[in-house]
Amino acid sequence: MPDLPVVWQALVSGILMGGIYALVAAGFTLIFGVLKIMNFAYGEFVMLGMYATFLAYTLGGVDPYLSLALVLPAFFLLGIVVQRLLIDRILDAPDDMQMILTFGLLILISNLALFFFTSDLQGIRVGYLDRIITFGGTFFRSSLLYAFVWALGLLAATYLFIRRSRLGRAVRATADDRFAARVVGLPVRAVFWITFGLGSAIGAASGSILLPYLPASPDRGFEFTLLAIIVVVLGGMGSFVGALVGGLAIGLTRSLGQVFISAVLSDALSLFVVLVILLVRPAGLFGAKVARDVAI
């Protein structure tokens, strides 16, 4: 049986990582909730966000968090371009065609990243982000705490945008019923562009805030896609609140699994928890609630 301080350390670390997982999953669930497509290339935007921040820091000395001022608009526009040139063409196609396209995009982006950045891990060292912070008997790198705070801030900003803004109401209406939204005069096609751009920007931003804690490599993209799918399936497909709860649940499961079982089996434990939840609630923790008031 692990000592209590070790369990407490795992709890705090799990919550911090869980908040970051929630942000990674938020962009994925936003895109799925509105466009109804499973974007397997989503994690590549997270990986590209890491490299964008890496280049901004190494070439221009830009602080990794200040680089968000560049990363967010750049990847918002990139997402719109991808949506207009590729995703728009297969929105009404069978699901397998959508999966093939986004999976092909995943392979293309990861190989381009491998060509330009090689397979070496690329990280940055920033003085104030390498400090060790102690809290209640636990300790962790300051970069993890900063990433957690930024993740919560970006999640709150996205949630308020979706719930309070006029454009956010158009996004929610399109997610509820795209045909009804078109009938009442909403620019559904433009909503799709904005949603995909916003989801891509959220993914890239999560990569940016992770870089000081986790080095970038071309194969990170698939890891983030798999993580986003696990979190979103657990929380409920298309549910923003579900992404937050699912992210925290997976963060805690992985962290506690390393303590009580094994670091090697912690990922398998996360999948086991997801399977158990799906047996009880096939739509995920917040899947049923999505239809009533949480849908984005």
pLDDT above 90 as % of the chain: 56
DSSP structural state of residue 291: I
pLDDT at residue 157 in the model: 95
Chain mean pLDDT for the chain: 89
For 86-203, list the strands marked E by DSSP. 132-135, 138-141
Tokens standing for 25? 């999953």
Question: CA angle, corner 225, sides to 249 and 174, nearest 5?
Answer: 85
Q: Which pTM value belongs to this model?
A: 0.90
| Three-state secondary structure of 222-251 | HHHHHHHHHHHHHHCCCEHHHHHHHHHHHH
Question: What digits encode the pLDDT tens for the residues 170-182?
Answer: 999 998 888 888 8
Cα(268)–Cα(30) distance, integer angstroms: 26
Position 138 pLDDT exceeds 90: no
Strongest mean pLDDT among 68-77, 86-95, 243-252, 284-293: 68-77
Cβ contact 285:236 at 8 Å: yes
Cβ contact 50:211 at 8 Å: yes
What does the pLDDT average to over 87-94?
A: 87
Residue written as tokens 């608009």? 73
Question: What digits encode the pLDDT tens for the residues 50-88?
Answer: 999 999 999 999 999 999 999 999 999 999 999 999 999
- 122 DSSP β-pair partners: 216
Position 272 pLDDT exceeds 90: no
pLDDT at residue 288 in the model: 55
Cα(239)–Cα(285) distance, integer angstroms: 9
Cβ contact 113:48 at 8 Å: yes
What does the pLDDT average to over 275-295?
A: 68
DSSP structural state of residue 66: T
Position 237 pLDDT exceeds 90: no
Q: Which residue has the higher pLDDT, 237 or 190?
A: 190
H or E segment to which residue 92 belongs: none
Residue written as tokens 């989503």? 42
- 61 DSSP β-pair partners: none
Tokens standing for 156? 């709150």
Position 295 pLDDT exceeds 50: no
pLDDT at residue 224 in the model: 93
Residues near 127 by beta carbon (within 8 Å), at least 6 away in sequence: none
H or E segment to which residue 59 belongs: helix 42-60
pLDDT above 70 as % of the chain: 96
Q: What are phi and psi of 123, to 5 degrees?
A: -125, 175
pLDDT at residue 201 in the model: 97
Residues near 119 by beta carbon (within 8 Å), at least 6 away in sequence: 217, 218, 219
Question: What digits encode the pLDDT tens for the residues 7-34?
Answer: 888 899 999 999 999 999 999 999 998 9
Q: What are phi and psi of 138, to 5 degrees?
A: -105, 165
